[in-house]
Amino acid sequence: MPRKQRNWVPGDTYHITCRGNHQQDIFRDDDDREYYLSTLKRVKAAYPFLLHAYCLMGNHVHLLIETINIDVSKIMYHTNKEYAVKFNSKYDFIGHLFQGRFHWELVDNDPYYLEVSRYIHLNPVKAAIVERPIDYKWSSYRSYAKAENRNPLVDTDKILGYFTEPKREKYMDFVEQEQVP
What is the tens place of the pLDDT at every residue in 56-86?
999 999 999 999 999 999 999 999 999 999 9
Total tally of structural domains belonging to the chain: 1
Find out whether 125 and 31 touch, Cβ atoms under 8 Å. no
Q: Does the structure show a pLDDT above 70 at 166?
A: yes
**Vertex 9: Cα angle to 151 and 17 (nearest 5):** 50
Does any domain span residue 62? yes
Residue 61 CA to residue 79 CA, distance in Å, equals: 12
Does any domain span residue 3? no
Find out whether 86 and 92 touch, Cβ atoms under 8 Å. no
Does any domain span residue 8? no
Does any domain span residue 5? no
Phi and psi at residue 61, to the nearest 5°: -130, 140
What CATH number should be reported for the domain holding residue 91?
A: 3.30.70.1290
Find out whether 120 and 62 touch, Cβ atoms under 8 Å. yes
- Residue 148: its pLDDT value, please? 79
Does any domain span residue 1? no
Average pLDDT over residues 98-118: 95
* Length of the chain as a residue count: 181
- Position 175 confidence tier, pLDDT thresholds 50, 70, 90: very high
Residue 10 CA to residue 68 CA, distance in Å, equals: 5
Does any domain span residue 79? yes
Does any domain span residue 48? yes
Q: Does the structure show a pLDDT above 90 at 3?
A: no
Q: Which domain holds residue 35?
A: 13-176
